[in-house]
Amino acid sequence: MTTSQRHIDVRREGDVLCVRLMDKQLDDETIRAMADEVESAVECEDTKKLVLRLGEINCLYSVLIAKLIKLRRLMSQRGGAFKICDVTPEVMDVFVSCQLQNYFDIVSDVSEAITSFKRTAKTSVPPT
């Protein structure tokens, strides 16, 4: 199943919801709209396993970091797991600079994320 919204592309891989951020140019309004669409997709699909593909985003704004933290918390409250993939080197540098590389479960791509969900028997996110 694949659905597109204005700012995200949503695809289901078994019990994993894979969301790709489609916007390259980000401002506060776009980030908020993307986050709302992701949260809505999580609720509508009633998923406990979420992969967020950052793709071509090459700058990590504080608003986006806050939305990622909120999304991680949402998945934790649902008893689920949240992984981020397709992270550019520039964005990874920001995660490291902010000491968030261990807070978020960051993997290289969607395939690795799906495989890691299958490997882990317990898929809950540690509480925040």
What residue ranges do the domains of the chain occupy? 2-119
Q: Which band of pLDDT confidence, cut at 50, 70 and 90, is reported for residue 5?
A: low
Q: What is the pLDDT of residues 29-60, one digit of tens each?
A: 989 999 999 999 999 999 999 999 998 888 88
**Tell me, what amino acid is at 39?**
E
pLDDT at 58: 82
Q: Is 96 exposed, middle or buried (0-12, 13-18, 19+ CB in 10 A)?
A: exposed
pTM for the model stands at 0.86
pLDDT at 24: 78
Name the fold adopted by 2-119: Transcription Regulator spoIIAA (3.30.750)
Mean pLDDT of the region 59-64? 89
pLDDT at 6: 85
Helix (H) / strand (E) element for 81: namely: strand 81-85
Helix (H) / strand (E) element for 96: namely: helix 89-97
pLDDT at 27: 86
pLDDT above 90: residue 18: yes
Q: What is the pLDDT of residues 68-126, one digit of tens each?
A: 999 999 999 999 999 999 999 999 999 999 999 999 999 999 999 999 998 874 545 55
Contacts 24+ apart (CB under 8 A), 40-44: 40/5, 41/3, 41/5, 41/8, 41/10, 41/17, 42/17, 42/71, 42/74, 42/75, 42/78
pLDDT at 121: 45
Give the number of other Cβ atoms within 10 Å of residue 109's Cβ. Answer: 13
